[in-house]
Amino acid sequence: MPLNAVAHLNFHGEAREALEFYQSVFGGQLTIATYADFGMPADLPGATHVVFGQVVADNGFRVMAYDVPGQAAPATPGAPRTRRENGTTITTEPFFLSVRGESVDEVAPVWAGLAEGATVIEEFGPAPWAPGFGMLADRFGVTWIVDVAAQYAQA
């Protein structure tokens, strides 16, 4: 059996909305189980939050998500992190999710779907290294790269 690495996104009460959005963009089967489904009393805060959720599509797309339990301050997935190093503030992105297809026609609808309500970092279009490339932070704060696979020529 092959191993698969699957992105698992952590939310604070938005996992259901995010998973439904990703299903609308990528298609596929949506599975959601709540804390109440796993035995939490329904009258407790957070009982309707997602303890396990995923979208699995026939095109190979798969993402998992859940709502972090408790009242912790929300940490936006993919939000930049800053640190001090030698007196300089350095900002880094903890991760990007990448969706790569074989043609512009294949990935353009994915870009259009993810771009709804997003902050576009780099508009989708031709790039020196690929026939199509774009980067955005979706409405949930997750940073996506959408591109077209291209043969890389070593310099």
CATH number of the domain at 133, please.
Answer: 3.30.720.110
- Pick from 43-57, 60-74, 107-121: least confident: 60-74
CATH number of the domain at 45, please: 3.30.720
CA dihedral 151, 128, 118, 60 (to 10 degrees): -10
The reported pLDDT for the residue numbered 94 is 65
> Do 14 and 53 share a domain, yes or no?
yes
Give the strand order in the sheet containing 62-67. 7-11, 62-67, 50-56, 29-34
Residue 61 lies in a domain: yes
Which is more confident, 78 or 50?
50
Beta-sheet strands, E only, within 86-127: 88-92, 97-101, 119-127
- Segment 14-41 shows an average pLDDT of 95
Q: What pTM value is reported for the model?
A: 0.82
For the chain, how many residues are written? 155
Is 96 part of a structural domain of the chain?
Answer: yes
Residues 94 and 55 in one domain: no
pLDDT band at 79 (very low <50, low <70, confident <90, very high): low
Domain match, 60 and 86 both: no
The range of the structural domain enclosing residue 13 comes to 7-67
User: How many domains is the chain partitioned into structurally?
Assistant: 2
Average pLDDT, the chain: 87
Per-residue pLDDT tens digits for 41-62:
888 888 999 999 999 999 999 9
Domain co-membership, 45 together with 86: no
